[in-house]
Amino acid sequence: MICPSCGAISPDESSQCPDCSYKFRWEYALKDPKKLTFPIVTKSNKKKLRILSVLFLLGFLILIAFAIMSSF
């Protein structure tokens, strides 16, 4: 099975991800399918989004600084 948190592959019978320790909720789904939930935004996705945001902001600031310097 593929971990919904980090994307790592783990055995089907495992109860948690070997890489990020995400706890699979398959046993809950067997009893009540409504309890089977997957996070839309995971910790790893938040970290990637934060890094991309910072890189975009830095690139934008460098572009503005370059535009200001070239106008002189």
> Do 30 and 1 lie in a common domain?
yes
Tokens representing 45 are 């996705």
Q: What ranges in the chain are assigned the alpha helix state H?
A: 26-31, 43-71
Partners of 23 in beta bridges: 16
Q: How many domains, the chain?
A: 2
> Do 34 and 1 lie in a common domain?
yes
Residue 66 has pLDDT above 70, yes or no: yes
> Do 12 and 29 lie in a common domain?
yes
Residue 6 has pLDDT above 60, yes or no: yes
pLDDT band at 12, cuts 50/70/90? confident
12 touches 18 (CB < 8 A): no
Tokens representing 27 are 């046993």
Above pLDDT 70, what percent of the chain? 69
What's the mean pLDDT when you consider all of the chain? 77
> Do 66 and 55 lie in a common domain?
yes
Q: Can you give the residue range of the structural domain that contains 29? A: 1-38
> Do 27 and 46 lie in a common domain?
no
> Do 1 and 32 lie in a common domain?
yes
